[in-house]
Structure formats: C-alpha cells, structure tokens
Amino acid sequence: MFGLSLQPRHRLFSVFGVPVFADTSALALLAIVLWTNGRGGPSAIVGSLLLAAVVFVSLVGHELGHALMIRARGYGRSDIILGGLGGVCRWQGSPTRGDMIRIALAGPAVSLGLAAVSGALHAVTPVGLAAGLPAQVLRLGLIVNLVWGVFNLIPIYPMDGGRALRSALAFRYSMRDATRRSLQVSFACGVAAIGLGVFVRDPIAVAVVALLLFQNWREWDTLR
C-alpha cells in the first residue's frame, strides 16, 4: 500500500463495485519494460506481457482485499489506483485502531492466499504440462504474490505492515507516541532492507525502500 502522487488517472474497470484506475506512472513503467525487453525478440516481449498481466492481477487482488474489508467494516466506497510502485486503496473514513489493523492486513492476506492457490495448482499440474503456459502463469502467480505479500508485511510505513504496527501501538500509547515508535521501527527495518538489497545487488529494491524512508523522514520531521 503505497502513497501515490496526484498524477492523471485513467479508469480501467470496476470489480465487485470497486473502481480501478491506473495513473501515468504505471502506464509509463509498462511502456519502458516492453521497450527494454522488446530488443530481446518476440519471446522476450511475450514473457514481459505475461509477467505484466500476472503482476496486474496480483496488485488488483491485493488492493481489492483492502477495499472489501473497508466495505465490510462499514466505511463505504473506495477506489483502487495502480501506479509505478504498486497500488493504493483510497477511501474516506476514520477507522478504529482494530479496524485499521484489519484493513491493513487484508491486502497481504489476499496476496498470500493467491500465492497458496497458485502453488497448490502448480503442484498438481501434470508433468507433461509443466512447461506450458498455464504452468508458467501459476509459477509467476506463486512468486509474485508471495513476494508482494511478505514485502508488504515488513513494518515500514506507509506499507501495510507499518500501518498495522502503528495502529497496534496506539492501543498502548498515544497516537503521537505510537507514530514516533512505529517510525523508529520503520527506519531500522528500512536500513536493514537497504543493506540486504545492496548485498543481493538489487538496485530496484534499494531505490524503493529509500523512497519509503524519505517519506518516513518527512513525517518524522513533521512530528517534531
């Protein structure tokens, strides 16, 4: 669950009554990926489109988990906006601390559920079909949803884990103290994540976490 800039949004469709939009950064990222991989020939383009489709469905499923929990807890309408760094479920409301935890964790729960279903279906795929397109989709579904679900549970604000931690701390501390303590945990986890990203040589992960820590620093500065 990332905060997205207020870029122009394009409505795609609705699912279970929840409108789904894509902002300019999402469309630009897709164009860059296709252009970069297009130089690898038709097979690379097909592979990129397949990955993009699985990521798209996975992100919508994740954010839909938030949206349906928002509706179930009585907070009304929400929108899903997909961007270059993921997605966000935007809504209006002042949830209780318990409901905020439920809403924050609903997205990762859906992602991990999709990963489990993909893995189970892949496990029963006949050996003769293991190299086919359906098996490839299931493998990608397992990997993408597992990574996205676990990543969002890391207590780095404003990801789902960070939001859930802040709300959980608010049961014991004032909201100001809960925010301060959650930001301290967020900084520590972010630094560790950046170190891991450098170790495994993943510049994209490092850049994403660095951007999140910048948002944390801005909030910390405001809190002071």
Answer yes or no: are the C-beta atoms of 62 and 107 closer than 8 Å: yes
Give me the pLDDT at residue 33, please.
Answer: 67
pTM score, two decimals? Answer: 0.88
54 to 97, 137, 176: CA distances (angstroms): 33, 7, 39
Residue ranges, the chain, pLDDT below 70: 1-8, 32-41, 127-131
The owner of tokens 């559920």 is 113
Give me the pLDDT at residue 3, please.
Answer: 41
From 23, 63, 99, 160, the catalytic residue: 63
Catalytic site residue 219? no
Give me the pLDDT at residue 131, please.
Answer: 64
pLDDT in tens, 99-158: 999 999 999 999 999 999 999 998 888 766 666 778 888 999 999 999 999 999 999 998
The residue type found at 5 is: S
The owner of tokens 């679900």 is 149
Give me the pLDDT at residue 38, please.
Answer: 62
**DSSP track, 95-159:** --HHHHHHHHHHHHHHHHHHHHHHHHHHHTS-GGGTTSHHHHHHHHHHHHHHHHHHHHHSS-TTS
Give me the pLDDT at residue 2, please.
Answer: 40
